[in-house]
Structure 1
Amino acid sequence: MGAALAVGRHHLGQTWPNPAVGAVVARFDRLSEHGNPLILGHGATAAGGRPHAEPQALAQAGEAARGATLYVTLEPCSHHGRTPPCVDAVRAAGIARVVAAIGDPDDRVAGRGFSILREAGIEVTVGPGADEARLAHAGHISRVVRGRPHVMLKLAVSADGKAGLEGRRPAAITGEQARARVHMMRATHDAVLTGIGTVLADDPDLTCRLPGMDRRSPVRVVLDSQLRLPATARLLANLDVAPVWVIAGEGPPAVAERALTERGVEVMRVGATPDGGLDLEAALRLLAARGITRAMVEAGPRLASAFFTAGLVDEASLFEAPGLLGRNAVDALEGLALDAFDAYLTTVETERHGPDRLRILRRR
């Protein structure tokens, strides 16, 4: 199962609207040169969501799959979509046993896949690797169960808890190694969200700029209530690498929307909250309706705080740098102390990236 999880994780951020499933076909009556069960085939959900992992692994195994065991990180699908049901491929291959990490909460599957396999005389075991699989498929689970993507908030903070210089001027807080880690995070998410304030202040690119990985860049989403995104923004200079979607309020005129759509930007609109801001939960539901399962928020202190206070942060990546920005610098979360994270997030892992520390926090 560890191998299946590793294979599936390789395509995180590339398979939406489908989950990034991993599958391995193995035989225990044949051993490798190291004395381990012989792996006959492996597969991962392909970019764009198809073909699925199971038929790829079974095709690799060929006739040797008959009587073998299939390890898969999520319950095999049992419905007709753009591809035939994976349970049909499993039965046709003559698999004797299926080991799945977790069931699929999608109503079209939700135990039906396991039932079909058992009715065909295939032994089914569920549970090995379940905790890791729930993390790998958190986006799919969130989209199906809650109707919105799994949200990861990324923050870079100085040792005194600041995120920008006095006057809301941008500051380079972390070093090159930490920034490379951020680019890898972008590559494993379907979309990266930011606010128009960050675009106007920093003019970010928000692509994955690791060598050879630009095509793994996520959809760039700008929350822009008044449609102020300028035509000169760097985001619009590389639409061939990754699309740009803008979520606006209901007020801006159609002419402002048309100017962006003519540039190739997709514009969506949502209602406002009582305080006049964009309805963030409605914005996330719009993204889910378009297939987004994993969203990374890279924004300024105001929007980061808004996501947090709305209870929409499922996971946080907090990059802590050793330098100080000073008493008058901008707080990392506007109106909130950093220890507000402790209200419903728990540190589960830490990493070192040069002089900087990364804390990964998740919901309790």
Structure 2
Amino acid sequence: MAHALSLGRRGLGRCWPNPAVGCVIVNQGRVVGRGWTQPGGRPHAEPVALAAAGTLARGATAYVTLEPCAHHGQTPPCAEALIAAGVSRVVAPLTDSDPRVAGKGFAMLRAAGVEVTTGVLADQAADDHAGFFLRVEQGRPWLTLKLAMSLDGRIATATGESQWITGPRSRRAVHGLRATHDAVLVGGGTARADDPSLTVRDLGVAQQPVRVVVSRFLDLPLMGNLARTAKDIPVWICHGPDASDQSQQAWKELGARLIPCQLDGGRVDPAAVLQALGEAGLTRVFCEGGGQLAASLLAADLVDELHVFTAGMALGAEGHPGLGALGVEHLNEAPRFEPVDLIPVGPDVRHVWRRVSQNRLV
């Protein structure tokens, strides 16, 4: 199952809105087939592994990182494919919470005489599928927030100099995080100030994440990196209802997808943004700021995982803070996370934090 999970992770960021599933088929102690969900979500992991196994799938055990699907969509049910191939046993950690499946895949297998074992490495599988489950159950994608700051929580000097606070190894790690998410999200201020590309570079990635910008008025540079590449790599802009028709038309002609969202307190509502991204099929979103967008997501309790890259320098109170105003007056109002990991990254340190996990029934 650990091998199947590692295979499934190859699909993270590439197979939305489907879950990134891995499958390993074992016959008499020998791996005879392997597969993972392919880009775009088709084909699923099970038929890929079954095709590799061929006739050796008969009488074999299939280790699958999520309950095999039981519904007819663009492809036949994977449960049917496993039965037709003659697999004698299926081991899966979790039930699929998608109501089209939700136990039906396991029931189909058992009705055909296939032995089913569940609960194996369930916690690891729940982590890998957290974005898929969150979208199915709450309508929004998993949100990972990245912050890169000095020791005293600053992202720029008093004059605005910010490149680079953290080192090249941290920046490479950020590209790795981008690659495992469906989309990269920034605020309009960051898009205007930094003119970012928001692409994964130097990692051999063929499929780039969607670039998402939150900008109430769509007042983004029409000659910037995002505008110039919008027809080649998707750009989605979440804007307010008061964005001008002229700006909307200009960005549509550039190839961007426009997503109108309601306002909250004069800003685009972060909860509405995530719901809209979930409706569009995204399961994992990686937010890289800026400070105001990060603060609004934290204040709305929408951050599921936090990656803080800290450099060994101090910039002082006159520097630009890494987070905008949160409106916290009492400690019990502050967003809180539990530590997951602490990783040295060259001269920097990467802290990983996550909100309290919930046990999932298998």
Compute the TM-score of the two structures, normalised by the length of structure 2.
0.94
Give deviations 1:86-144, integer Å, cap 9, x for gaps. 01101001011000011100000011111111111111011111111111111100100
1:128 maps to which of 110, 120, 126: 120
Pair 1:224-2:226 in alignment: no
Alignment of 1:18-37 (within 5 A): 18-27=18-27, 29=28, 37=29
- Aligned equivalents of 1:61 and 1:16: distance in 2? 26
Pair 1:251-2:242 in alignment: yes
Contact 2:299 2:335 in 1 (8 A): no
Alignment of 1:62-73 (within 5 A): 62-73=54-65
Local SS of the residue matching 1:125: strand
1:324 aligns to what? Answer: 314
Pair 1:147-2:168 in alignment: no
Alignment of 1:1-364 (within 5 A): 1-27=1-27, 29=28, 37-166=29-158, 168-213=160-205, 215-239=206-230, 241-273=232-264, 275-336=265-326, 343-364=335-356
- Aligned equivalents of 2:332 and 2:322: distance in 1? 11
Q: Report the identity percentage.
A: 46
- Aligned equivalents of 1:143 and 1:180: distance in 2? 28
The one-letter amino acid of 2:169's match is Q
- Aligned equivalents of 1:354 and 1:344: distance in 2? 27
Q: 1:335: Cα distance to partner?
A: 2.6
Distance change in 2, residues 1:341/1:160 (3 Å): farther
Distance change in 2, residues 1:299/1:16 (3 Å): same
Contact 2:231 2:256 in 1 (8 A): no
The one-letter amino acid of 1:102's match is L
Local SS of the residue matching 1:178: helix
- Aligned equivalents of 2:94 and 2:232: distance in 1? 34
- Aligned equivalents of 1:94 and 1:343: distance in 2? 51
The one-letter amino acid of 1:278's match is V
Question: Which piece of structure 1 moves more, 168-177 or 154-163?
Answer: 168-177
Q: 1:193: Cα distance to partner?
A: 0.6
- Where does structure 2 lack aligned partners over 5 or more consecutive residues? 357-362
Contact 1:24 1:57 in 2 (8 A): yes
Local SS of the residue matching 1:312: coil
- Where does structure 1 lack aligned partners over 5 or more consecutive residues? 30-36
Local SS of the residue matching 1:114: helix
Local SS of the residue matching 2:11: coil
Give deviations 1:181-240, integer Å, cap 9, x for gaps. 000111110001101100111111110012422x33210000010010111111122235
The one-letter amino acid of 2:277's match is L
Give deviations 1:278-322, integer Å, cap 9, x for gaps. 111111111111110000111111111110000000001111111
- Aligned equivalents of 1:258 and 1:293: distance in 2? 28
- Aligned equivalents of 2:152 and 2:68: distance in 1? 48
Contact 1:184 1:210 in 2 (8 A): no
- Aligned equivalents of 1:175 and 1:88: distance in 2? 50
